Amino acid sequence: MKNYDIALVGFGNVNRTLAQIIGEDQERMAAELGFTLRVTGVIDLRLGAVIAPTGVDLSALLELEPGSTFAGLEGFRELSNEEFIRTVPADIVAEATYTNPADGEPAVSHVRWALESGKSVCTTNKGPVAFAAEELTRLAGERGVHFEFEGAVMSGTPVIRLAAGPLKGVGITGFSGILNGTSNYILGRMEAGLSQMAAIEEAQDYGYAEADPTADIGGSDVRLKVMVLAHELLGVRLASSDVATEGITGITAEMIEQARAESKRWKLIGTARRDTDGVVTASVGPRLLDDDHPLSGIRAATNAVTFHTRYLGDVTIAGPGAGRVETAYALLSDLIAIDAAERR
User: Which residues bind to ligand HSE, rule: CB under 6 A?
Assistant: 180-182, 208-210, 216, 221, 321-322
Q: How far is the CB of 205 from ligand HSE (least distance, A)?
A: 13
Q: Which is nearer to ligand HSE, 95 or 210 (CB)?
A: 210
Identify whether the C-beta of residue 331 lies closer than 8 Å to the C-beta of residue 94: yes
The nearest distance, CB 188 to ligand HSE, in angstroms, is 13
- Residue 339's alpha-carbon distances to 8, 140, 168, 305, 312, in angstroms, are 17, 15, 21, 27, 31
Sequence-distant (6+) residues with CB within 8 A of 271 are: 174, 175, 176, 177, 226, 282, 283, 284
Q: Which residue among 168, 225, 264, 267 is the active-site one?
A: 225
Which DSSP letter does residue 243 get?
Answer: E
Q: How far is the CB of 135 from ligand HSE (least distance, A)?
A: 22
d(Cα 98, Cα 278) in Å, to the nearest integer? 34
CB atoms within 10 A of CB 52: 18
Cβ of residue 297: shortest distance to ligand HSE, in angstroms?
18
Query: Active site includes 225?
Result: yes
Nearer to ligand HSE, 117 or 204 (CB): 204
Q: Nearest-CB residue to ligand HSE?
A: 182
* 158/337 Cα distance (integer angstroms): 12
| Residue closer to ligand HSE (CB basis): 91 or 210 | 210
119 vs 126, beta carbon nearer ligand HSE: 126
Give the dihedral of Cα atoms 40, 44, 50, 54; nearest 10 deg. -10
* Active-site amino acid positions: 225
